[in-house]
Structure 1
Amino acid sequence: MKRKIILFAAVAFVLNLSAQEKQKDTINSKEELSEIVITGTRTERVLSSLPLPMTVITSEAILKTGVTRLNEILNEQTGVILIPDESGFEGIQMQGLDAAYTMILIDGVPLVGRSSGVLDLSRVSVGNIDRIEIVKGASSALYGSEAMGGVINVITKKPKKDTFSGALSYRYATFNTNNANANLLWKKKKFAANLFADFYSTAGYDLDKNSPLKNVESFYNYTIQPKLYYDFSDNLKLTVSNRFYNQKMDNPAIIDAKSYKGEAKENEWNSQIKLEQKWNSKLYTEYELYATNYKNDSYLNDENNVAFDKAYYNQWLFRPEVRTTLTINKDKLTAGVGVNYESLDRTYFDKNVKFNSQYVFVQYDYNPADRWNILAGFRYDNHSEYASQLSPKLAVNYKVNDNLSLKGSVGYGYKAPDFRQLFFDFTNPAAGYSVLGYNVAEDRLNQFESEGQIASRVQGISFDKPLNAESAVNFNFGTFYKKNKLRLDVNAFYNSIENLIDTRVVATKKSGGNIFSYFNTSKVFTYGLEFNSTYSFTKEFAVSVGYQYLTAKDEAVLDNFEQYQYIRNSKLETIQLNKSDYFGLFNRSKHTANIKFAYSIPVIKTDVNLRVFYRSKYGLFDTNGNAILDKYDKFISDYFIANLTASKNITDQLFFQLGANNLLDYKDPSEIPNLAGRQLFARIQYNF
């Protein structure tokens, strides 16, 4: 590893000595004051006037961090925490809501392939990203299910000038991690094209040398993303976009002290066709057809190479949609209609299950005066498997003066029951328990009973009514201030979630194992405060500070606290708890913070970027037997992570970078398996 880093440095030094061209100073380039965003309203809007809590990550900011995957750059944002699930995938937590409640989009269309509600964000490379738009809070009024907690839209680069341009990049890092990509852009008159290709491989890492299994096994993946553009005229434009992703990973296992080997494969395909038609200066329509397929197949063989286990996952989504925007003076009326067709065939489903839904949404962007902006809208979803949903939203922005604005919003969001919660049919042969989806539970319980396997069924439980969608009411109120060297963004939020879907015991087997199914049970709430600020001391030196305070609790625990108020400590003494001793939901930290230093050295055309992140303590399990997380439980201690990057423009076209993620080498193998320790990297990029 050290030899390769030294080789990188030597090559950069020689190129620097031999460079005769005038160097390009990108260090002092400023972000445009009026950034145009689209995710919050599905129309182009100036970020500062948007009445919603929103963050934009630019391609320049991504480049200076040196990261390569989507999960890495999101983990550096205030109020965005990546939480690993039991599969090791890292899912987004925003405003205290789990990954299942955040919709992930690429160029406005959704990704599929969630494991227990978690989408593997490392599937997405950042090599061709123009910007990332993060909308926090209920967004179901525009995007439907999975957007109850917010939306993250990855917007890729597109050709802008009549020329051929692009970038070639290679990055080497600890754990023999290699990432090479090429992004090629070409435009000539009415025709334009973009081709992005990315290859990523790693040997994985092992934090516990006493175990034969690694925390992350070796794997490689590649992404190919071609896009074509054709302008029939100034008023009629066509976009055809495809994305292909393939990954192979070693898949060893230890089961009952026996070793097994295998392989896991992922394949993803996305295709989008969009036609944009401008009827006149006031009327604009988009026709969009989107299809995507995600497959995951894995197997295990024993020591004699005999098949032991196989698993598969095959999900399809097909979605046509039409959107129209009518400009009325200063205002915009947007309406859309679409259809979702989904199917999933996977291990432990007795059949290929299908969903279909029809939806319509309307939004009015109203500007009654120069200082006021009012955004009102709703979406109606008619679904084949659960009750129809109406999702309204209202947001207001008031510009106090040229520097200060106030904004507030209230919205209703929902999360539909997923395929697993409705159709899962799994029995663990070793432990003896079963998990049944709501829609198949009654028939399977009757079958178990006819086979003489049931000892008792829980009284009062029926599956007569459909499982309801989870629903949330979300409030945001904040302020945005920008003057001279200071930029400040503050947002307070509150979420109240009803009909939370959770598992419950429905029967006990004669063998002693329980049978679980899914039900609408709890009501939870989250509230907190988010703070972001940037101060530019000079043109060369700026500091950014971010902080989030979060409280997340189960209302049923507070309402029935007498069921949870006694515990036994390590000395077997009985302790009575107060409500104030209830810490809240699992895997939530009350405090997260970051501080970022950006320093430019114009003389040598170099950027230095230091980011420090803090997460306060949090609990993963109930460790004292009262079924909640209280202050006497075992917690994962608070910790700091520091990332350091140094970037240099050697010539107009050549860019070199060195960095260290987790600079302080913080590790907690038993509790935080996704923290791999210090990772050094070097990167070289050629722009043309």
Structure 2
Amino acid sequence: MKKYLITCLLLYINHSLVAHAGDMETLVVTGTRAEISQAQSPVSIDVISAAQLQQVSQGTLASALNYIPGIVTKRNAKDGYTVQMQGFDGDHVLVLLDSQPLISPTGAAVDLDQISVVDIERIEVLRGAASVLYGSSAMGGVINIISRKQRKNRLTMHYQGSSYANNAIDSGDIAHQLQLDVNQQLGVWQANFNLQKIDDPGFDYDATSLAQSAPSNDKSFVNVGLSRQLNDITLGLKSRYLSEDKYKVRYALPGQNSNIGYLSKVNQWQQDVSLSQAQWWKVQGRYIQHNETSGDSNGLRDADITLAEIDSQYQWSLDSLDFISGLVLHRDELYQEKHPNSPSESATIEIDNKSRNSVEAYTQAGWQWDEHSLLAGIRVQQDSDFGWHSALRINSLYNLASTDDAQWQFRAGVGQSYRVPTLKERFYIFDHSNLGYMVLGNPELQPETALSSNLEVSYQRSLTEPSKHLSLSANLHYSKANDFIATLTDVEASSTSGLLISRYYNINQAYIKGLDLTAKLNWGELDYQLSYSFLHATNNKSEHLSDRPTHQIKANVNWQLPYDFNALAYLVYESGEYPTAEQVGVARDHWTSLNLNISQQFNQNWRWNAGIDNLFDNHQNSNAIAAGLLDVRPLSSRRIFVGMSYQFY
């Protein structure tokens, strides 16, 4: 039955919820750092709107980004979520909020489950090398979260309840999500306040075992913003707070009554200040303080992570060239200590107030003739620990033969990118000697670099009516990366100590190439999308890189029904991952997930929605994972949800 449903859906589905032909043109900023029409951007940009996010998310970006073609989301060892793009993992994909970076609690990968969707206007996705505009870590691409601008006065409240069918820890456990969003004009200030509360009991595949599959999770997001116009100058002030509390039981201590569990307690504060004049210039400042206690309950660690950045940008012209130049001052700090094993011991300092600073400058020039454009840029960075770095990039857009109702476009780009090793990768000491292993940083790490290229051909056509539109695209990408950072076993240290000791090392090269195909069709009240991605990633020994699917299919259909009903179905299929050196075999190398959502707008004020995530309840086999086998299915569960929203103007 499952195979029949998948086959029918793939045959039937072939445009996501993107804007219809004839709707207002979408403006994007990520590819050029200045507003430009999405259709005329020389850098290919995918966009997901706030309305789409609310449909496909469960309150955070963790599940929402899996809706975008070519993006792979992964659950990490800390039960957070990271992203992959064009074969680069989360450490090599830069996640931004309003074009500035966020804290990365693990390595360089931002946890998507620590980003609320409440205050988002849209998300822009740039694939490929982007270090020229965004610096370190933008090797596989950029995910830029654009927060909401000024809005008219309104109040929005939303509640959603959900249950993990089949895998609930207790039959009465219900997950709760509450959102409150207020916009109000206060004199000359436009004020915004939003609150989101998520209470998730977690789930368990085997009620007879002590270990819990997914942790309970209690999350709070609070955002406060003020903005005002001073003639043609815009001043913005924002304050954000995140509180997260996770816990799951892992195992029992022999001969003792206590259990060992994994826990994570996070408190994060973020302060933003911005000053801008239309598109001519802007200055943004950001300060983030991230405090986290995490680990097994018998081996906890405190980590204090700080990020501070000032980003200034100026737009200017010279003859037929348009320039954007910027200067960035950046600082990272990290302190980490391990809790004592007994009250008589003191805490062990593992990373003692390490820091790094960088000064970065970039310039990008754009030239447009007829309907074609060329974009070229350079960035230089002076790093306190690694000295000078630079990156070059060139992109072009060529509009091929076009008519009133059809258009061919060709985009090409080639660029350099780099990533500076994080403080954690260099100085980390993860001592679990009581469990037989350690993970150590490596102060001798060198920066990673890559040379990447992208070629895209797209075709758009209006079909008989403005409300009927077809879009096809094919994107080829290739990257050669040098000095890739990986975690490898230190054989000599392991044999001497009797422990399994792993360290961060630079490996020689990685070669990543792939193909993304996307078909989108709007047919009146129906929107369809079908995408296929192929990936081939190896090291210099022709060995396949692990944890990356070779094949991915994403399909969705969105149907506007009578009486203001809306129905959405979207499917994800991935296959062809390769095991790591530590895994002894393959239990399952493919998986499929189907998600359903239906909603109705009662009137101007009331709206309800309901649905099922992971309809097939396709998930990992805990026994296979414990046996050291590869099982690529996600750590997830079938989830049934229902919600209600009220909006007052």
Residue in 1 aligned with 2:602?
A: 650
Does the CA-based 8 Å contact 1:619-1:636 persist in structure 2? no
Instruction: Determine the C-alpha separation between the residues in 2 that align with 1:548 and 1:400.
Output: 25
C-alpha contact (below 8 Å) 1:102/1:147 kept by paired residues: yes
**Percent identity of paired positions between Structure 1 and Structure 2:** 22
Q: Distance in 1 between matches of 2:532 and 2:609?
A: 28
Residue 183 of structure 2 corresponds to: 185
Q: Taking structure 1 as reference, are residues 624 and 100 closer, same or farther at Cα in structure 2, changes over 3 Å only?
A: closer
Distance in 2 of aligned mates of 1:182 and 1:330: 48
Question: Counterpart in 2 of 1:93?
Answer: 84
Counterpart-to-counterpart distance in 1, 2:639 and 2:471 = 32
* 1:504–1:637 CA distance, 2 compared to 1 (3 A): closer
Query: Quick one: structure 1 residues 55 and 262, their matched pair in 2 at CA, closer, same or farther if it must change by over 3 Å?
Result: closer
Distance in 2 (CA, whole Å) between partners of 1:515 and 1:666 is: 34
Q: Please report how far the alpha carbon of residue 29 of structure 1 lies from its aligned counterpart in structure 2 after TM superposition.
A: 7.5
Residue 192 of structure 2: aligned partner: 194
Q: How far did residue 251 of structure 1 move?
A: 4.9
- The aligned residue for residue 647 of structure 2 is 687
Output aligned runs, 1:260-659, within 5 Å.
260=260, 263-277=263-277, 284-298=280-294, 308-328=298-318, 331-347=321-337, 349-367=350-368, 369-402=369-402, 403-430=407-434, 433-439=437-443, 467-484=445-462, 485-502=469-486, 503=488, 505=490, 507-508=492-493, 510-513=496-499, 516-537=502-523, 539-555=524-540, 557-558=541-542, 584-602=544-562, 604-622=563-581, 633-634=585-586, 636-659=588-611
The residue aligned with 1:246 is 243
- In structure 2, the CA distance between the partners of 1:495 and 1:598, relative to structure 1 (3 Å rule), is same
For the structure 1 residues 246 and 427, does the alpha-carbon distance in structure 2 shift closer, same or farther, using more than 3 Å as the test?
closer
TM-score (structure 1 length as normaliser): 0.81
Name the count of aligned residue pairs.
Answer: 589
Match of 1:507, SS?
A: helix
- Residue pair 1:159, 1:187 contacting (<8 A) in 2 also: no
SS in 2 for 1:652: coil
Q: In 1, are the aligned partners of 2:57 and 2:63 still within 8 Å (CA)?
A: no
Instruction: List per-residue Cα deviations over 1:555-583 (Å, max 9, x = no partner).
Output: 2x23xxxxxxxxxxxxxxxxxxxxxxx6x
**TM-score normalised by L of structure 2:** 0.86
Question: For the Cα contact (< 8 Å) 1:472–1:495, is it kept in 2?
Answer: yes
The question of whether the paired residues in 1 share the 8 Å contact of 2:108 and 2:137 is answered with no
Query: Rg: which structure is higher?
Result: 1
Question: Distance in 2 between the 1:528 and 1:185 partners?
Answer: 44
- The alpha-carbon deviation at position 501 of structure 1 amounts to 2.0
SS at match of 1:481: strand
Are residues 284 and 528 of structure 1, via their aligned partners in 2, closer, same or farther at CA, if it must alter by over 3 Å? same
Residue 152 in structure 1 maps to residue 143 in structure 2:
yes
1:131 matched to 2:122:
yes
Matches within 5 A, 1:200-219: 200-219=198-217
Cα deviation 1:530-555 (Å, max 9, x = unaligned): 11221123x11222111101111112
User: Which consecutive residues of structure 1, in runs of 5 or more, have no partner in the other structure?
Assistant: 1-25, 302-307, 440-465, 559-581, 626-632
Which whole-Å CA distance do the structure 2 matches of 1:337 and 1:326 have between them? 15
* CA RMSD after TM alignment: 2.4
CA distances 1:624-656 after superposition (whole Å, capped 9, x unpaired): 87xxxxxxx525232221111111110112111
Question: Does structure 1 conserve the Cα–Cα contact (< 8 Å) formed by 2:92 and 2:109?
Answer: no
Hey, what's the Cα distance between the residues in 2 that align with 1:386 and 1:680? 50
For residues 208-258 of structure 1, the C-alpha deviation after alignment (integer angstroms, 9 at most, x for no partner) is 223212122222111011111011112x11011111000122354426545
Which string of whole-angstrom CA distances, capped at 9 and with x for unpartnered residues, describes residues 464-498 of structure 1?
A: xx532001111000022211120122211011110
Alpha-carbon deviation of 1:131?
A: 0.5
What's 2:68 paired with?
77
**Contact 1:53–1:137 (CA<8 Å) still a contact in 2?**
no
Please tell me the residue identity of whatever aligns with 2:565.
T
More strand by share: 2
CA distance in 2, matches of 1:417, 1:300: 26
Q: From the superposition, tell whether residues 589 and 490 of structure 1 become closer, same or farther in structure 2 (CA, over 3 Å).
A: same
